[in-house]
Structure 1
């Protein structure tokens, strides 16, 4: 699954276009490597998102095409906030 779509479905970012902009600016890393919005996300990957002064790191637990709002947090495990 594409990075921008995963961030939207997991609700780590509100909109897919916002996820694309953040990724294309180099503010998202997958496994400590800069990632573009089209980068493939796999189970076990560690995603780090830089929001200004805040850094959020998560590990991908599962990938799903459709997720209900209250089940979105089951897709990842927060490593650092």
Structure 2
């Protein structure tokens, strides 16, 4: 088998929970194959790069093997290479203990110094 429909492949490798969800993502413009918008019937073959928005995250995967039937999670993970960049690291947020009240003037100065990176 050299190629299959992109909606079927997304479902088979467990990037979409159901096949109708995969087809809806294609209809909504959330799936691209080789940087082109993909309809549900777009063919994918080994070597293709698929970008799919799943939930709140965008996954970028490279097709290694084409499958049409849903398989176990370990077997599905072998069918693609995940090229998704890691999420950006967020800076820690200064928090006060619950019930500590408003910050004093000294606390505010320390927080301002910490936020600006001053000494």
Instruction: Decide: shared fold, TM above 0.5.
Output: yes
Structure with greater strand share of residues? 1
- Conserved in 1, the CA contact under 8 Å of 2:15 and 2:54? no
Which residue in the other structure is 1:74 paired with? 78
Work out whether 1:24 is the aligned partner of 2:15: no
Structure 2 unpaired stretches of 5+: 86-119
Q: CA RMSD in A?
A: 1.5
1:2-81 paired onto structure 2 within 5 Å: 2-51=5-54, 53-66=56-69, 68-69=71-72, 70-81=74-85
Structure 1 unpaired stretches of 5+: none
Q: Structure 1, residues 5-53: CA drift from partner, whole Å, max 9, x if none? A: 0011111111000000010111110000000101001110000012364
Q: Which has the higher contact order (CA 8 A, sep 6+)?
A: 1
The count of residues paired between Structure 1 and Structure 2 equals: 81
**What TM-score, normalized to structure 1?**
0.90
